[in-house]
């Protein structure tokens, strides 16, 4: 009975909590998906792909993903400096799950479109 009321504490004791601390948030999933589609992306390209993200937020999110070993950051010491990002082996492990979420989202978006179209016909 005690297990039913037990919750995950601030430390990542529960595996679902652990996973969502790594990939949760507005941009992490989209960054990982973009890296999967493009293989290697420079910072500026990623900023153009995710047009609604600020430079500060993109930098912070990329640092978190790198810290969690989900992406690889490669710096080229040249003028101007160039930085490329790619998925790490751990990041690649997440792609099947993100693919499943994308497919689920596609179905739900289509269902909502059909629902709105049907209700527009009734008006």
Domain count for the chain: 1
Q: What are the residues facing 74 on neighbouring strands?
A: 84
- 10: in domain: no
Q: The dihedral of CA 109, 110, 115, 116: what is its sign? A: positive
pLDDT digits (tens, 9 = 90+) for 31-79: 999 999 999 999 989 999 998 999 999 999 999 999 999 999 999 988 8
The per-residue pLDDT for range 3-14, each reduced to its tens digit, is 555 565 655 568
Per-residue pLDDT tens digits for 85-122 = 999 999 999 999 999 999 999 999 998 888 877 777 77
Answer yes or no: is pLDDT of 28 > 60.
yes
Who's near 50: CB < 8 A, 6+ residues apart?
A: 27, 30, 31, 34, 58
Domain assignment present for 59: yes
Residue 40 is assigned to a structural domain of this protein: yes
HSE-CB at 55 with a 13 A cutoff on CA atoms is 2
pLDDT computed for residue 108 by the predictor:
92
Q: Which domain holds residue 80?
A: 15-93
- The whole-number pLDDT of residue 11 equals 59
**Is 120 domain-assigned?**
no
CATH of residue 42's domain is 1.10.10.10
Residue 47 within any structural domain of the chain: yes
Nearest alpha carbon to residue 85 among 66, 100, 99:
66
């Amino acid at each position: 009975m005690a297990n039913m009321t037990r919750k995950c504490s601030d430390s990542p004791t529960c595996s679902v909590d652990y996973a969502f601390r790594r990939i949760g948030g507005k941009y992490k999933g989209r960054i990982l998906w973009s890296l999967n589609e493009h293989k290697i992306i420079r910072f500026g390209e990623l900023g153009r792909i995710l047009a609604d993200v600020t430079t500060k937020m993109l930098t912070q999110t990329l640092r978190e993903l790198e810290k969690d070993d989900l992406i690889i950051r490669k710096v080229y010491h040249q003028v101007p400096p160039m930085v490329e990002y790619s998925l790490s082996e751990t990041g690649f492990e997440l792609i099947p799950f993100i693919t499943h979420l994308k497919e689920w989202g596609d179905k739900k978006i289509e269902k909502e479109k059909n629902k709105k179209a049907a209700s527009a016909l009734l008006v």
